[in-house]
């Protein structure tokens, strides 16, 4: 399973999602939705064995987690407003307790909790993307390198204040989260060795 988590520092966690203002009034929900699409979608369908979690920290109220499991999803299309509609329907429901998930629709789980709780639940090697760290790419040519279970931590448009996972870089320039996810999928799809430690 490839796992991705993105921290939405200002992304709203409950209430009426302003679908016409995802970049402003929704707390940069557009950034999270683009990362979600990069993680689970291919040109003509859904990837297998990918789990994507949004940590919604912008309130009102406690932090909320939305988890998308690619093998179970139905009715997800490569269109931001369509996905925002699915998220909006979840944000209008009561927040489950910390550590518990409720399936709101096929493959979309809603839960209370935070980034630390999410990473502990993964129980796999975890990489935190950081442009100031050593390279994720090992320089090894493609071969039969296979990573079956790995997680990646990303931030939204604000710097990520986190010490979880092993920091690794995809280059010295700060890239958008959706671009990072596409690069990671490419490296792993091609069997290119990455630096996990």
Chain CA centroid to CA 127, Å: 13
Q: What is the structure's pLDDT at 141?
A: 66
What's the half-sphere exposure (Cβ side, CA atoms, 13 Å) at 85?
7
Q: What is the pLDDT along the chain (197 residues), one digit of tens a residue?
A: 999 999 999 999 999 999 999 988 888 999 999 999 999 999 888 999 999 999 999 989 899 999 999 999 998 888 889 999 999 999 999 999 999 999 999 999 999 999 999 999 999 999 999 988 999 987 776 666 677 899 999 998 888 889 999 999 998 888 899 999 999 999 999 888 888 88
Domains in the chain: boundaries: 2-133+149-167
Q: What is the structure's pLDDT at 195?
A: 86
Q: Which fold has domain 2-133+149-167?
A: Alpha/beta knot (3.40.1280)
Q: Give the mean pLDDT of the chain.
A: 92
Q: What is the structure's pLDDT at 142?
A: 64
Say if strands 2-8 and 50-56 run parallel, antiparallel, or are unpaired: parallel
> How is residue 46 written in tokens?
């859904």
29-61 burial code (b ≥16 CB/10 A, e <16)? bbbbbbbbbbbbbeeeebbeebbbbbbbbbeee
Q: What is the structure's pLDDT at 131?
A: 86
Chain CA centroid to CA 30, Å: 13
Find all residues with CB under 8 Å of 194, minimum gap 6, and list them: 136, 137, 138, 145, 147, 168, 187, 188
Q: What is the structure's pLDDT at 44?
A: 84
Q: What is the structure's pLDDT at 143?
A: 65
Q: What is the structure's pLDDT at 78?
A: 84
pTM score above 0.85: yes
Is the bond into 60 cis (omega within 30 degrees of 0)? yes
């Amino acid at each position: 399973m490839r796992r991705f988590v993105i921290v939405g520092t200002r992304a709203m966690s409950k209430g009426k999602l302003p679908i016409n203002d995802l970049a402003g009034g929704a707390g940069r929900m557009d950034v999270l939705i683009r990362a979600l699409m990069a993680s689970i979608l291919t040109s003509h369908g859904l990837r297998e064995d990918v789990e994507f979690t949004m940590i919604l920290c912008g309130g009102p109220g406690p932090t909320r987690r939305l988890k998308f499991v690619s093998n179970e999803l139905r009715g997800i299309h490569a269109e931001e407003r369509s996905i925002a509609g699915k998220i909006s329907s979840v944000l209008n429901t009561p927040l489950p307790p910390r550590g518990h998930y409720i399936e709101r629709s096929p493959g979309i789980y809603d839960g209370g909790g935070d980034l630390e709780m999410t990473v502990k639940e993964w129980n796999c090697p975890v990489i935190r993307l950081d442009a100031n760290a050593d390279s994720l790419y090992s320089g090894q040519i493609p071969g039969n390198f296979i990573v079956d279970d790995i997680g990646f931590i990303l931030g939204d448009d604000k710097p990520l204040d986190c010490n979880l996972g092993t920091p690794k870089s995809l280059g010295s320039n700060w890239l958008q989260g959706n671009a990072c996810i596409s690069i990671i999928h490419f490296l792993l799809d091609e069997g290119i060795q990455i630096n996990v430690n």
